[in-house]
Amino acid sequence: MDGNSDAEPGAVAEPEPIRVARTLDETGAAPAVTARDVVAWHAPGATLPVDLVALAGQARAFAEGARAEATRKAYGSDWRQFATWCRAAGLASLPAAPETVGLYLTAHAGHLAIATLTRRLSSIAVAHRMAGHPMDTRHPMIRDVMRGLRRAHGVAQDHAEVLTVPLLQRVLATCGGRLIDARDRALLLLAFGAALRRSELVALDHADIAVVPEGLRVTIQRSKSDQEGEGVVLAVGRTGTATCPVAAYDAWLAATGLDEGAVFRGITRHGRIGARLSADAVSEIVQKRAAAAGLEAGLFSGHSMRAGFATSAAQAGIEERVIMRQTRHRSAATVRRYIRHGELFARNLAREVGL
């Protein structure tokens, strides 16, 4: 949100210190608190301890850490889109009337998924709270619009195609003897065996993986479902097969000679090892390998191995609670979706009825 947004029709101008400290900037975070801002929040004539300025900066840092970086960026982007739409429509974005929010959601219903609209509504509400303006997302002009959109467009989300064991084996068959092949093989098998999110996979350091006789002990320092960093240790056992994740990891270590820092790194076309991979790079690797295996690359993503583990585990008859312990899903409903997917062809009903 830029400095001119307060001039929108119908907007109530906030005192400058409150605007500066509470509104979202381009990164989706609250701008830095200055000494002048802190003074302005105190009664006239109040004495301001020098340390309070430093404390305000620390408080801001803690507040920003309450949400994951990706979430803050998404909220910031969503807010900028909403503010831009409001300016073009001649409507106030802060504070926005419930009718304005309802109109915004309706205007974007034709080309945004319900899940995206739901997130944008959350972003708008968060921006209002940060600016000191309460927003009731249960207001009829918001709640009923969302209900109508869900009924009209449905709430089913697109999901990446799962890499079940047979498909994963096809993808792994594209890996040869180059350094990049060793990396991709280890990356795919470790992501599958530990049911890792792509963000967790690229965050792994060598210190997070212990090789023991039974297999690998993988420590996840922080994750989407563990923003406070309590950490969790996952087991990936040895299988003694051609697709053993432990053997693939050992081969990657032997090929690189590295024993500290990022586990998975970029590799140049000349075979030089670079910096830590990004989460987006994982998706690119999966899609390139899928295409090389003759699969439709666009159906797969960095989530395909994690989803593939859950589905394959369900097909193997592994109990729901055991699957959830490895995937660390908080919602049983999410895991049951994978179980249903895995059981789709458990019985051939068309054949059983005599077709």
Active centre residues (catalytic): 197, 224, 303, 306, 329, 338
Residues contacting residue 243 through CB under 8 Å, at least 6 positions apart:
165, 168, 169, 172, 189
Gap between the Cα atoms of 126 and 122, Å rounded:
6
- DSSP-H helix ranges across 28-68: 35-40, 51-64
| Angle at 143 (CA atoms; ends 137, 144), nearest 5 degrees | 160
**Tell me, what DSSP letter sits at residue 299?**
G
Instruction: Report whether 253 contacts 245 (CB < 8 A).
Output: no
Direct distance between the N- and C-terminal alpha carbons of the chain, in angstroms, rounded to an integer: 62
Q: What is the CA radius of gyration of the chain?
A: 25
DSSP string, 149-202: HHHHH------PPP--HHHHHHHHTT--SSHHHHHHHHHHHHHHHTT--HHHHH
Cα(4)–Cα(23) distance, rounded to whole angstroms?
A: 13
